[in-house]
């Protein structure tokens, strides 16, 4: 690899002699041998913590392209394997086809030390680096690869703006002096709680062993009082299937809590963060070394390709940030799964194993079937799923209602009603999606009064005419798609009412004709923008409760199969639940039970008049994504209260309660909240939140993270999303019946041929 143009980077300082810093130094020196590159490492050359590191084929491919010498040296050392073993309650289940490569961390460092010396990099061990700011005055580029506790990041926190989150498990890095033949997970259920082992080989005679436990389990077991040797001895006895009585050893090993590091910026002038200094991702989805090495590859490439350092650092961050954020989302899902492990241990063995393997959402039902079809078939057989039936097309029963499949058309506000009256648009919109194969089609939030609307275009159910219009919709669904169900979501806008249609200005007050809004407390949604709501009195609360009851009676007469109470997204009942929006000092405010009082009163009153055989669900915001608001723990308590009062399922959404929320967006990003409620309480849940593929639905259902999956935008893109999902999977059973008039379209239309004739002879 040679430089295609001159560069102005003459002097480079690297703070930290870990794999990322060393590899960045080697690459930059190889790009321009005239550069002066100095690496400062405060430890000795062979001092390292931890044991083995895992690198993906993708990372190794990047190394091979950038520096064949390093690649060849690593290839000679790598241990490779394909299987993952999950050991639980004395039973081992194996899934193959995964593909891992690992080597010892000490050996990796030695390879990189040797390469740096060959290239002429100045390696200064046992040397504390000068502060980054001082180095920046005498060097063209300063690479801060100084780890999770980065002094550089902290010294310039006002620029990098880091967020460091400490998680709920303690873990310790240990090693065993024998090589496993698979990546191994083993679960230990003790009198103190659940502990888990993550282990993998990294040499012909060695394996990394990580033991992890919730903080309270760790303390109850007395592990907080043990030194390294005693901890290793204790852990060796916990996992007999993997260790077989063989000892464990440490290497300055300590019980620590994982810290997720996120930075708003990665560079400051000529100082740039790399590896753990910039970002961390939980060890349960791979190696932080992998991310650091990939950072080094990208940084060196951007320095080579860009005209100057500012452009290079901007390009580096632009390239790496989306990859890192995606990895961190997967890592958060994985670490949260292990934090909630105690809620999964009673799952059937194969479902438990499938749940573990798909925990990060990167490995899915379809992806795992490609890796190991027999393993996935075994999971499906254990679940009682008929061969050839995707999990999403299995039926599900709620009270007296049997849904033909697990797909729900999520409630979506259309803003197309006239004075609350649904018209032809609603008939076509909901009817099309019922014809499109979904098991349950939900209306938008239907408002219980004119004052309870969000916008002038919101639909309602407070008049006979509205009831008749809704009856027209349900009759169409039941007649034209007889195995589909249709549900009604009832709600009241609260302080988020009297606003413009979404496309005219979401959450913005009307230019004229505003109606007064109400809430548990006189707190505007956006101070200075939205009007200050009237704080409801006890008498007014009783009147609103009766509006919900009246609408419920109308919903029953209108023929809806299911009724959902909307207690999410900052609307009236949601704002009673959140401590950020409920500041009342009477019986309806204060602690969690008091904040639940009015929503439960409304639910109870509705349940009393709703037909006993028809199910009722409740949509909640499981977190406010804001400091001081509803948390995941609170959501479990809220869900438990509604379940105790007779809710047949919880529809678990998040956020939209306060405008300054900070959601952690990503594919299926809200589903862990549903998962947690389901497995903590044993109550059915509907998962929502950026579920976008049939593969996601199959994965969530088969893993036991959700009973039903609600999708919104995919059904806007394709009203026949469910039928097309069936066609894509080659399924033609009762879980996805094509309307008689549409059956000719049940196969994809043919397209022009793109395949060329295959060669017949090789001469």
What is the distance between the alpha carbons of residues 286 and 641, in angstroms, rounded to a whole number?
38
- Phi, psi dihedral angles at 651 (to 5 degrees): -95, 105
Annotate 70-102 with b (16+ C-beta within 10 A) or e (fewer). bbebbeebebebbbbbbbbeeebbebeebebbb
For residue 319 the two structure tokens come to 């390239």
What is the distance between the alpha carbons of residues 336 and 523, in angstroms, rounded to a whole number?
33
What is the distance between the alpha carbons of residues 600 and 152, in angstroms, rounded to a whole number?
51
For residue 549 the two structure tokens come to 């009851």
Terminus-to-terminus CA distance in the chain, angstroms?
A: 37
What is the distance between the alpha carbons of residues 760 and 229, in angstroms, rounded to a whole number?
66
What is the distance between the alpha carbons of residues 442 and 486, in angstroms, rounded to a whole number?
6
The DSSP output letter for 500 is -
Q: Residues with Cβ < 8 Å from 479, sequence gap 6 or more?
A: none
Residue 202 vs residues 102, 183, 212, 289: alpha-carbon distances, Å? 5, 10, 19, 14
Q: Residues with Cβ < 8 Å from 290, sequence gap 6 or more?
A: 53, 54, 55, 56, 59
CB atoms within 10 A of CB 149: 12
What is the distance between the alpha carbons of residues 479 and 143, in angstroms, rounded to a whole number?
67
Q: Residues with Cβ < 8 Å from 179, sequence gap 6 or more?
A: 79, 201, 203, 204, 205, 206, 207
The residue annotated as part of the active site, out of 571, 588, 669, 731, is: 571
- By the 8 A CB rule, do 444 and 414 touch? yes
- By the 8 A CB rule, do 656 and 569 touch? yes
Residue 419 vs residues 455, 562, 607: alpha-carbon distances, Å? 10, 24, 27
- Note if 571 is an active site residue: yes
Q: How many CA atoms lie within 13 A of 310 on its CB side?
A: 1
Crossing angle for the helix pair 694-703 and 721-728, to the nearest 10 degrees = 80
- By the 8 A CB rule, do 263 and 273 touch? yes
DSSP string covering 694-722, please?
HHHHHHHHHHTS-SEEEESHHHHH-TTHH
Q: CA-based angle 691:399:641, to the nearest 5? A: 75
User: What stretches of 358-499 show up as alpha helix (H) in DSSP?
Assistant: 365-371, 373-382, 424-435, 464-480
Q: What is the 3-state secondary structure (H, E, C) of 600-663?
A: HHHHHHHHHHCCCCCCEEEEEECCCCCCCCCCHHHHHHHHHHHHHCCCCEEEEECCCCCCCCCC
- By the 8 A CB rule, do 193 and 187 touch? no
What is the distance between the alpha carbons of residues 322 and 320, in angstroms, rounded to a whole number?
6
Q: How many CA atoms lie within 13 A of 173 on its CB side?
A: 16
Picking from 583, 752, 575, 762, the residue whose alpha carbon sits closest to that of residue 659 is 575
What is the distance between the alpha carbons of residues 392 and 711, in angstroms, rounded to a whole number?
13
Q: CA-based angle 449:453:459, to the nearest 5? A: 85
Picking from 39, 42, 3, the residue whose alpha carbon sits closest to that of residue 21 is 39
Q: Residues with Cβ < 8 Å from 428, sequence gap 6 or more?
A: none
- By the 8 A CB rule, do 15 and 129 touch? yes
- By the 8 A CB rule, do 688 and 336 touch? no
Residues with active-site annotation? 571
């Amino acid at each position: 690899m040679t430089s295609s143009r001159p560069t102005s980077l003459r002097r480079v300082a690297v703070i930290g002699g870990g794999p990322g810093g060393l590899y960045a130094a080697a690459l930059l020196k190889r790009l321009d041998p005239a550069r002066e590159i100095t690496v400062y490492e405060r430890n000795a050359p062979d001092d390292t913590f931890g044991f083995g590191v895992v690198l993906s084929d993708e990372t190794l491919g990047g190394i091979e392209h950038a520096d064949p010498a390093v690649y060849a040296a690593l290839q000679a050392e790598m241990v490779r394997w394909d299987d993952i073993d999950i050991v639980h309650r004395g039973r081992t289940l194996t899934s193959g086809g995964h593909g891992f490569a690992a080597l010892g961390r000490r050996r990796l460092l030695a390879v990189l030390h040797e390469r740096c010396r060959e290239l002429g990099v100045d390696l200064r061990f046992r040397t504390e680096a000068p502060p980054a700011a001082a180095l920046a005055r005498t060097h063209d580029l300063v690479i801060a690869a100084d780890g999770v506790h980065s002094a550089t990041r902290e010294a310039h926190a006002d620029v990098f703006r880091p967020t460091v989150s400490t998680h709920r498990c303690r873990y310790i890095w240990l090693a065993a002096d024998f090589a496993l033949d698979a990546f191994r997970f083993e679960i230990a259920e003790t009198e103190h709680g659940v502990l888990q082992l993550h282990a993998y080989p990294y040499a012909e005679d060695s394996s990394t062993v990580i033991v992890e436990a919730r903080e309270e389990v760790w303390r109850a077991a007395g592990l907080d009082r043990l030194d390294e040797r005693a901890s290793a001895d204790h852990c060796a006895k916990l996992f007999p299937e993997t260790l077989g009585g063989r000892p464990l050893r440490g290497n300055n090993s300590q019980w620590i809590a994982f810290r997720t590091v996120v930075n708003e910026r990665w560079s400051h002038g000529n100082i740039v963060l790399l590896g753990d200094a910039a970002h961390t991702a939980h060890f349960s989805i791979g190696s932080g070394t992998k991310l650091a090495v990939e950072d080094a590859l990208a940084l060196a490439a951007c320095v080579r390709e860009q005209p100057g350092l500012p452009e290079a650092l901007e390009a580096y961050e632009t390239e790496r940030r989306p990859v890192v954020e995606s990895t961190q989302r997967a890592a958060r899902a994985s670490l949260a799964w292990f934090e909630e492990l105690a809620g999964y241990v009673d799952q059937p063995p194969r479902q438990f194993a499938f749940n573990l393997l798909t925990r990060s959402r990167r490995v899915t039902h379809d992806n795992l079937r490609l890796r190991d079809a027999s393993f996935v078939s075994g999971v499906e057989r254990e679940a009682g799923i008929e061969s050839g039936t995707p999990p999403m097309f299995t039926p599900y029963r709620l009270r007296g209602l049997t849904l033909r499949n697990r797909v729900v058309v999520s409630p979506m506000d259309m803003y197309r009603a006239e004075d609350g009256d649904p018209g032809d648009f609603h008939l076509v919109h909901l009817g099309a999606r019922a014809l499109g194969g979904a098991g349950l089609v939900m209306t938008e939030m239907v408002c219980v009064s004119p004052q309870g609307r969000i916008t002038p275009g919101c639909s309602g159910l407070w008049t006979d005419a509205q009831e008749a219009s809704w009856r027209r919709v349900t009759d169409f669904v039941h007649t034209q798609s007889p195995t589909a169900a249709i549900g009604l979501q009832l709600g009241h806008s609260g302080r988020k009412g009297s606003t413009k249609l979404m496309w005219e200005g979401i959450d913005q007050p009307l230019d004229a004709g505003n109606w007064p809004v109400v809430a548990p407390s006189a707190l505007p949604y956006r101070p200075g923008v939205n009007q200050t709501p009237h704080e409801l009195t006890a008498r007014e609360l009783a009147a609103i409760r009766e509006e919900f009851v009246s609408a419920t009676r109308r919903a029953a007469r209108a023929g809806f199969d299911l009724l959902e109470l909307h207690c999410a997204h900052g609307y009236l009942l949601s704002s009673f639940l959140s401590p950020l929006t409920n500041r009342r000092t009477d019986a309806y405010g204060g602690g969690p039970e008091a904040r639940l009082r009015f929503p439960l009163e409304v639910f109870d009153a509705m349940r009393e008049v709703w037909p006993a055989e028809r199910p009722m669900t409740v949509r909640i915001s499981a977190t406010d994504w804001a400091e001081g608001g509803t948390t995941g723990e609170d959501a479990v308590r809220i869900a438990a209260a509604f379940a105790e009062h007779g809710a047949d399922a919880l529809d678990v959404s998040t956020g939209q309660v306060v405008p300054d929320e900070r959601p952690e967006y990503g594919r299926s990003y809200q589903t862990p909240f549903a998962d947690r409620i389901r497995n903590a309480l044993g109550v059915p849940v509907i998962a929502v939140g950026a579920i976008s593929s049939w593969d996601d639905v199959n994965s969530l259902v088969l893993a036991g993270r959700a009973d039903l999956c609600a999708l919104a935008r995919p059904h806007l893109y394709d009203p026949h999303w469910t039928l097309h999902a069936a066609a894509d999977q080659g399924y033609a059973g009762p879980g996805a019946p094509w309307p008689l008039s549409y059956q000719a379209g049940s196969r994809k239309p043919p397209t022009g041929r793109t395949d060329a004739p295959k060669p017949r002879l090789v001469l």
